[in-house]
Amino acid sequence: MTKLSVNINKIATLRNSRGGNNPDVIQVAVDCQKFGADGITVHPRPDERHIRYSDVYGLSKIITTEFNIEGNPKEDKFVNLVLDVKPHQVTLVPDDPGQLTSNHGWDTIKESNYLKDIIQVFKKAGIRVSIFVDPLEHIVAAAAATGTDRIELYTEDYARNYKSNKEQAVAAYIRAAAVASQNGLGINAGHDLDLDNLAFFKQSIPALLEVSIGHALVSDALYFGLENVIQLYKRKL
């Protein structure tokens, strides 16, 4: 079964909009796990506009499922945080410091030497590594040479084109996943997956190990409730 990791960044965004500690991101993480989430994902950014570095330390004490920390390893503060916390998985994302949200994967050819070095830093600490990539066969093949354990397929293009032609929208991801499997890479996915497009994506890529979903899941929770919506997403998987 594909695991569902709930990204709680948007919970922190809501909290930060008013100050104080409501909603409490630690309690939300506890509840997500209680309601059936297989993991918790956070993506701290340098400006701490949603998840704060202090949140990550607090979360590390209460995660009983799987803890996944996303971020740009070219930020020394991020690398130090991950090595200190030692989550189950670190997902390396090539975000610019002021970027609103992730919008592209690594160029695993151009950045090959850098990725090999930084991946070994995390793997020596006993942390599983996933790298964020676009669904391009040559990029996925080059990812295998970096020493990463997994890739995370960036799924915005799939989500954007799903309603117009879902078979065409997923085709590149099927090819990329096949290359990943041939090279012994685990496959994760994330970005704009939701209750409409998730089941077809999973059916098309049976080897899918994990999805990380935040914005859509938190938005759906406004209507369906957090406990119910986690189960709705898990049924799609």
Q: Is 43 a catalytic residue?
A: yes
Paired with 91 in beta bridges are 70, 130
72, with CB counted inside 10 A (0-12, 13-18, 19+), is: buried
Q: How many CB atoms lie within 10 A of CB 164?
A: 8
Q: Based on C-alpha coordinates, what's the Rg of the chain?
A: 17
Catalytic residue among 66, 70, 152, 210: 70
Q: Is 191 a catalytic residue?
A: yes
Catalytic residue among 50, 66, 152, 191: 191
Q: Is 138 a catalytic residue?
A: no
Q: 3-state DSSP call for residue 35? A: coil
Alpha-carbon separation of residue 87 from 39, 61, 91, 126 (angstroms): 11, 11, 10, 9
Four-residue CA torsion sign, 168, 172, 178, 181:
negative
- CA distance linking residue 50 with residue 12, whole number of Å: 5
Q: Which residues contact 166 (CB under 8 A, 6 or more apart)?
A: 197, 200
**Looking at the annotation, which residues are catalytic?**
43, 70, 191
